[in-house]
Structure 1
Amino acid sequence: MKIAISLLLTLAAALPLLAENTPAELRQTSKAVLGTIPDKMPGSESDTPDMVELGRTLFFDVRLSANNTQSCNSCHAIDQQRGGADTAPTSLGDAGKHGGRNAPTVLNAGFHVAQFWDGRAADLAAQTKGPILNPVEMGMHGETAVLEKLNAVPGYGEAFAKAFPKDAKPLTYDNLARAIAAFEHTLITHDRFDDFLKGEDGALNDRERKGLQTFVSVGCVGCHNGPLFGGNSFQKLGAVNAYKTDDQGRFAVTKDEADKFKFKVPSLRNIEITAPYFHDGSQTTLDGTVREMAWLQLGRKLTDQEVDDIVTFLHTLTDKSRTPTHTTSR
């Protein structure tokens, strides 16, 4: 919370500049509290092309699930220019049951402070190991069962040996997770807001720049800050006005009373193409999400114009190679 307050104070001092609404001034303020997406993800330093290619194959392989129905891509869909998530409030697993939380996007996920809504996995490799063995998700009965299944698939033995040439036993569960993480390290997106920060005034039009100004002045950046517009902290959902949920969030991991109902702040990059929203997938539109979050977290009832301005700006955070021909999230 101290981080959020400090940021808001900094922004309050910057508001006179924002009132000018010139591209140069907006860029200066945005660089201070937001920033561009880095070129490389943490943890990718030791990745090799062979690891990435193996990870890509594994990411789309339904044989990582007990009944050969689910791949990583089933819940974190990146094919067909999709946004790294499915379109369901909660995802349908291998056994025909739904999970308890909305599947977050895998795009840019390696930049986050931790993985999962409650941060229980430190990095992408640790995150990868969970869903494969989760009985509600991919349903495999232990690491040994996974390795036996992969060993029976022609080509995987050679692919693991090529990706991990220094290992006496390359086909391991740890290496499976490392390979998928290596592929996910490549899922970095590029959008018009980054172009704007890099000096292209025309990357955002007048309405979008007004939306950026509103996003900052309303206080959204108190939580949605940094290059990912979030993903870097845990905050209580319902900080000002309560949100009804039985999910206690990060408390289940830390057992710290202060973490009750805290969730990882989602990144707003690609938010236009990752509906529905919230940890429970209860919000289906960006308009509704912006309006409700302002009330829950800031105690503000936004005007229709403010909501429209912010949503207009949020559309500029969509990866340029994934921009929808029409929006369904409003």
Structure 2
Amino acid sequence: MSKSHNDPANIKRLRLPWRFFLLLGGSLLPGSTLFAMEPIQPIPQHVEYDKQKAALGKKLFFDPILSQDQTVSCATCHDPKTGGADYRAISEGIFNRPGQMNSPTVFNSYFNFRQFWNGRASNLASQVSGPLHNPVEMGLTLEEVDRRLNQHPEYPRQFKSIYGKPRVNIDDMADAIAEFEKALYTPNAKFDRYLRGELELDKAALDGYRLFKKIGCAACHNGINVGGNSYQYLGAVIPVKWRKDQGDLHQRTGDPFDKNRYKVPSLRNIALTGPYLHDGSAASLDKVLKKMAFHNLGFELSEDQLTQLMAFLNTLTGDMPAILDTP
């Protein structure tokens, strides 16, 4: 007699790896969606944006005309060569004035639920005006921004062709820069390709990812941006000293509950974006991992664990944004 299709032996032979179902778009997994089994989702391979606005925003992003002494541009603290972040622990603004915070990466910032470490900007366009008017960063008044842009030999014509207005205004300027920043996404990281079933991770990276989930890192670092979607405490288990000048959520809300609470940073391209943390106090990737494991998870990482986690994090480096290669 032939074996029934319900025979366990037959079922075992027909069992396929879960990655096979992901390659089919998850359609054979009842009640599930693609990548639903993982806390991290791939960055989309294409993000729609207005190419004309983004090209204008790119020019403004790299133009020091938007700083009082004309030495600082957006790219000064968000350098594409260093993963869209600042290589310095604390950023410097006009007249070499030191700031208070480490500049987070602008790459993939479109996927953040808020902008700045304390989330005081709800979107990319509203984020633009913060550094622009800050006396330490770029130090320009609304009136001076208006004068410089409207007296520029090229900007009035370019803005009129896109926005259809006789004069450049600060809202349209912020909109153009935000559109450029929207285009600064970094798809096709090795880990994204792993999630899409296109390749396998080596043992160290795969062990690191499993450890990342097991010890609780993924509780805060999840989603498309592997972070950037919640506020969490620095020192949740073993407290760190609070400093009122360090730009935490408390600075915005005034609520004691929010002391040492920050927007969780993205781990995308983290191998490129050191130094780390809101104050740049962790100079290297191994140091920030040790610090976060101790203060937020309550234990010290072994050397093997550190090696595995670093191997995984190195798979989060994606392609450079395509818009940077366009004129």
Which interval holds the TM-score relative to the shorter structure?
Answer: 0.7 to 0.9
Please say if residues 248 and 262 of structure 1, whose CA atoms lie closer than 8 Å, have aligned partners that are also in contact.
Answer: no
| 1:132 Cα offset (Å) | 1.1
Q: CA deviation at 1:257?
A: 2.3
Q: Give the distance between the partners of 1:194 and 1:100, measured in 2 at CA.
A: 34
Give the structure 1 partner of residue 66 of structure 2: 64
User: Which residue in 2 is equivalent to 1:302?
Assistant: 301
Q: Does 1:50 align with 2:52?
A: yes
What residue is the counterpart of 1:273 in the other structure? Answer: 272
Listed one character per residue, the Cα deviations across residues 155-203 of structure 1 (whole Å, up to 9, x for unaligned) are 10011112212xx34510011000000000000102111111111233x
What is the deviation of 1:82? 3.0
Q: Secondary structure at the match of 2:94?
A: coil
Check conservation: 2:101, 2:278, Cα contact below 8 A. Answer: yes
Map 1:189-268 → 2, pairs under 5 A: 189-190=186-187, 191-202=189-200, 204-246=201-243, 247=246, 249-268=248-267
C-alpha separation in 1, matches of 2:143 and 2:267: 38
Per-residue CA deviation, residues 190-235 of structure 1 (Å, 9 max, x unaligned), is 2111111111233x22221111111111111011111111100001
Q: Say whether the 8 Å CA contact 1:277–1:289 is kept in structure 2.
A: yes
User: Do 2:83 and 2:105's aligned partners in 1 also have CA atoms closer than 8 Å?
Assistant: yes
Partners of 1:127 and 1:40 in 2: how far apart?
Answer: 23
RMSD after superposition: 2.0
| Paired positions, count | 290
Residues 95 and 139, structure 1, Cα contact 8 Å, conserved in 2: no
Task: Check conservation: 2:101, 2:247, Cα contact below 8 A.
Answer: no
> How far off is 1:256 after superposition?
2.1
The reply on whether 1:186 has 2:183 as its aligned counterpart is yes
Give the whole-Å Cα distance in 2 for the aligned partners of 1:245 and 1:289: 18
Question: Aligned partners of 2:217, 2:36: CA distance in 1, in Å?
Answer: 12
Once residues 281 and 19 of structure 2 are traced to their aligned partners in structure 1, the CA distance between those partners, rounded to angstroms, is: 38
Identity between Structure 1 and Structure 2 (%): 40
Q: Is the 8 A contact 1:23 1:201 kept in 2?
A: no
TM-superposed deviation, 1:271 = 0.6
Distance 1:214 1:291, change over 3 A: same
Alignment of 1:313-324 (within 5 A): 313-321=312-320
**Aligned positions of 1:85-100 closer than 5 A:** 85-100=85-100
Is the CA contact 2:109–2:115 (under 8 Å) kept in the aligned structure 1?
yes
Query: Which residue in 2 is equivalent to 1:148?
Result: 147
- What TM-score, normalized by structure 2, do the two folds share? 0.84
2-structure distance, mates of 1:213, 1:55: 40
Partners of 1:29 and 1:60 in 2: CA distance: 37
Deviation of 1:152 (Å): 1.6
Change (3 A) 1:321 1:205: farther
Determine if the alignment matches structure 1 residue 34 to structure 2 residue 40: yes
Structure 1, unmatched stretches of 5+, are 1-21, 323-330
Deviation at 1:251, TM superposition (A): 0.9
Residue deviations 1:58-112 (CA, integer Å, cap 9, x gap): 000011101110000000001xx43001110111111211111000000000110
Report if the CA contact (8 A) 1:85-1:104 is conserved: yes
Deviations 1:122-163 (A, max 9, x none): 0110000110111100111x1110110111211100111122
> TM-score normalized by structure 1?
0.83
Distance 1:119 1:111, change over 3 A: same
Unaligned stretches of 5+ in structure 2? Answer: 1-16, 23-33, 322-327
